[in-house]
Amino acid sequence: MKIGIIGVGNLGYSIALGIMSEKKEIRCKSLYLTKRHLNSLKHLEKASMVKITNDNKRAVRYSDVIILAVQPAQLKEVLEEIKDTINPKKHTIISVVSGRKIKEIESVLGADVKVIRCMPNTAISVGQSMTCISANGLAKKDVTVAKTIFNALGETLCIEEDLMQAATVVCASGIAFWMRLIRATTQGAVQLGFHSDEAQQLSMQTCLGAASLLIDSRNHPEQEIDKVTTPSGCTIEGLNEMEHQGLSSSLIQGIVASFKKLNQI
Residue among 78 and 199 whose Cβ is closer to ligand NAP = 78
Min dist. Cβ of residue 231 to ligand NAP (A): 44
Which spans of this chain sit near ligand NAP (rule: CB under 6 A)?
6-12, 34-37, 56, 69-72, 74, 77-78, 96-98, 119-122, 172
* Least distance from ligand NAP to the Cβ atom of residue 124, Å: 6
In the bound state with ligand NAP, the residue whose beta carbon lies nearer, of 64 and 81, is 81
To ligand NAP, the closest distance from the beta carbon of 222 in angstroms equals 31
Kind of pairing, strands 2-6 and 92-95?
Answer: unpaired
* Choice between 69 and 199, CB closer to ligand NAP: 69
Q: Strands of 2-6's sheet, edge to edge?
A: 50-53, 30-34, 2-6, 65-68, 92-95, 114-119, 129-135, 154-158
In whole angstroms, what is the distance from residue 20 CA to residue 253 CA? 40
Complex with ligand NAP: residue 79 or 113, whichever CB lies closer: 79
Q: How far is CA 169 from the centre of its chain?
A: 11
Residue nearest to ligand NAP (CB): 9
Residue 54 DSSP symbol: S
User: CB neighbours of 206 closer than 8 A, spacing ≥ 6?
Assistant: 185
Q: How far is the CB of 115 from ligand NAP (least distance, A)?
A: 15
